[in-house]
Amino acid sequence: MTAARLQSLGGQFSFPGRAAFYVDANNGANQDLGSSSSSTYVKVEWERIIYEQGGSNFSLANNEYTIPAGCTGLWQWNLNLTWQIPDASIMFLETSIINANGAPVSIAGLTHATNNTGGLDYSGAQVSGIAKCTAGDTIYINVRQGQPSSSKVFISSNWSGYFVG
């Protein structure tokens, strides 16, 4: 990360080289969770990188973000996932932010998911938090559902992270 500089207008701090990214699945992509059970976690697939600064550290090929060199410390994570739920109750939907190389990030969201309409319904989970990460760690998003069903991670899902310091 480059050094902070004090802007002359308004006394605001600027961090032009601070590592950050924002990805989404917002263009009609649907990742079918298939018949995954409550003990099966599925890695979320992202469709596009909206922005990334501080290097090319997000991979759409493996849907992971790698903490860049010089960015060991606290990271802010923000996640919004929307599910399409079939015409059956799947009891719950869980989202987790996972650190594959180090200590678990341990930021998770759980929501009750029931569809009583007989058609398609939607549920969502929003998760945010701060976690310590080390340069080289790979971070990704896992989901699981309460019972086997063909629910889908739906449009309007997004994930962002930035280096706090």
pLDDT at 101 (0 to 100): 75
Provide the 8-state DSSP code for 105.
-
The per-residue pLDDT for 82 is: 78
d(CA 75, CA 93): 24
Please say whether the dihedral angle defined by the alpha carbons of residues 133, 162, 65 and 143, taken in this order, is positive or negative.
positive
Q: Domains (ranges, CATH) in the chain? A: 29-163 (2.60.120.40)
Winning range, highest mean pLDDT, from 25-34, 53-62, 77-86, 91-100: 53-62
Query: Could you read off the pLDDT of 53-69 as tens digits, one per residue?
Result: 999 999 999 999 999 99
Residue 151, exposed/middle/buried by CB under 10 A (0-12, 13-18, 19+)?
buried
Average pLDDT over residues 135-158: 75
- Residues 85-105 as b/e (b if ≥16 CB within 10 A, e otherwise) read beeeebebbbbbbbbeebeeb
Does the predicted model carry a pTM greater than 0.85? Answer: no
- pLDDT above 90 covers a percentage of the chain that reads 31
